[in-house]
Amino acid sequence: MLCTAGSIAIVLLGAFLLYHSSFESRFRRSRPALEAYAAQVRSGDPSTSISIPPRIGEFRTTDAERLAHGFLFFCDYGNPFDANGIAYSTEPLPENIDQNDYFTHVDGNWYSFWRAGREPDRLTSGPSEKPHDGR
């Protein structure tokens, strides 16, 4: 009986940790910081490059690019051997662009994306990194 209870506890703990670290869960908890960052980017000069903090909410970030109606940034979700990220666009994005960028609608103006043919960035975190919290 004790072995069965221990097994159930381990399974439940694993399910909790998997859910807690899922993209959807991290996205939901990071939404306020993502929205604040989107407002910051949208208020900037569209002819300049985007400054990206090392973290936005719970996502470690590496690089950002402008889109016609928004932006995208690479972050630490998904397969570590792929280049994944999050995109924001005030206009709907197609499922793919030039067979290179593949978008999946998440919610509102937000998308997840995968870029073919790009080496994944090596994300590092250090004690001095502070998340973008919208302030």
A 10 A CB-CB count for 56 gives 23
pLDDT of residue 21: 67
Q: Which residues, 6 or more positions from 87, have their beta carbon under 8 angstroms from its beta carbon?
A: 67, 70, 71, 72, 73, 93, 103, 110, 111, 112, 113
Give pLDDT tens digits for 50-103. 999 999 999 999 999 999 999 999 999 877 777 999 999 999 999 988 888 999
pLDDT of residue 47: 92
Higher pLDDT, 2 or 108: 108
Give pLDDT tens digits for 10-39. 544 444 444 346 999 999 999 999 999 999
pLDDT of residue 133: 43
pTM: 0.73
pLDDT surpasses 80 at 130: no
Confidence band, pLDDT 50/70/90 cuts, at residue 2: low
A 10 A CB-CB count for 133 gives 14
